[in-house]
């Protein structure tokens, strides 16, 4: 599996503030956004570009431009929404689809799809799946298969933190014929008995939006 874990002091610093339980939601949201922008550099390495003739104030040249149709960014609701702003800043031409998936708390590897706002046909589209916490890996596998079944050309998952158990699950369960890449800021120690990442950062959705 094509996995990229960022290794950079700026990422480490921002992650530490993000994890701190005393960090307020407003700072937490800003940090998620900044971390996604840093991840986007790696995540978009294979984004398709085409030649574009332009004129600078000095001379004509052939530049590069993101190809059409534009990539699709798919946040997994609800926590993935916190990563959307950073990702769209980096790819302003991207279209955005939404996928509402959550784990069944009584059976954490099983997924419930409760919302879907995506083009039915994703043929030839490059997709960026954004979800901050790769815990059991169940959501990521289900969401990736969902996009691939609709014809997505390649799928890049962008997560903030991962657990080794989740990475193993993805490696074992993901259809190997799917062109898939995963970018993370860090891989933590383990999952606890409630399937939270340890040391992690707690519930990403609650920390982004407050407890509902
Ligand atoms: N989802 C979260 O928000 N946090 C975790 O630690 C695991 C899954």
Would you say 76 and 99 are in contact if contact means Cβ atoms under 8 Å apart? yes
Determine the distance separating the centroid of ligand 1 and the alpha carbon of 76, expressed in angstroms: 13
Q: Is 137 annotated as a binding residue?
A: yes
**ipTM of the complex, rounded to two decimals:** 0.96
Q: What is the pLDDT of residues 79-97, one digit of tens each?
A: 999 999 999 999 999 999 9
132 in a labelled binding site: yes
For residues 86 and 33, the answer to whether their CB atoms sit within 8 Å is yes
Task: For residue 35, list its beta bridge partners.
Answer: none
Is 163 a known ligand-binding residue?
Answer: no
Q: Which residues contact 197 (CB under 8 A, 6 or more apart)?
A: 133, 135, 161, 162, 163, 188, 190, 191
**Would you say the CB of residue 203 lies under 6 angstroms from ligand 1?**
yes
Domains of the chain: 2-51+61-209 (3.40.50.2020)
d(CA 101, ligand 1 centre) in Å:
13
DSSP state of 200: S
Confidence of residue 51 (pLDDT cuts 50, 70, 90): very high
Cis ω before 78 (30° cut-off from 0): yes
- pTM for the model stands at 0.94
- Atom 2 of ligand 1 has which residue's CA nearest to it? 203
> Is the distance from the beta carbon of residue 166 to the nearest atom of ligand 1 less than 6 Å?
no
Task: Report how far Cα 13 is from the mean position of its chain's Cα atoms.
Answer: 20
Give me the sheet containing 161-162, strands edge to edge: 133-134, 161-162, 186-187
């Amino acid at each position: 599996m094509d996995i990229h874990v960022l290794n950079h002091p700026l990422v480490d610093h921002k992650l530490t503030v993000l994890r701190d339980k005393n960090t307020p939601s407003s700072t937490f949201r800003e940090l998620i956004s900044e971390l996604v922008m840093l991840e986007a550099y790696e995540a978009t390495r294979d984004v398709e570009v085409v030649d574009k003739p332009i004129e600078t104030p000095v001379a004509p040249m052939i530049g590069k431009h993101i190809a059409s149709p534009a990539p699709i960014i798919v946040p997994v609701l609800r926590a993935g929404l916190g990563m959307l702003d950073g990702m769209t800043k980096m790819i302003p031409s991207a279209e955005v689809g939404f996928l509402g998936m959550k784990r069944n708390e009584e059976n954490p590897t099983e997924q419930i799809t409760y919302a879907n706002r995506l083009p039915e046909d994703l043929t030839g589209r490059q997709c960026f799946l954004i979800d901050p916490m790769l815990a059991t890996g169940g959501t990521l596998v289900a969401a990736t298969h969902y996009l691939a079944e609709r014809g997505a050309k390649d799928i890049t998952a962008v997560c903030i933190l991962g657990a080794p158990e989740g990475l193993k699950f993805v490696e074992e369960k993901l259809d190997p014929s799917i062109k898939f890449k995963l970018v993370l800021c860090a891989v933590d120690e383990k999952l606890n008995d409630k399937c939270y990442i340890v040391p992690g950062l707690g519930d990403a959705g609650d920390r982004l939006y407050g407890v509902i």
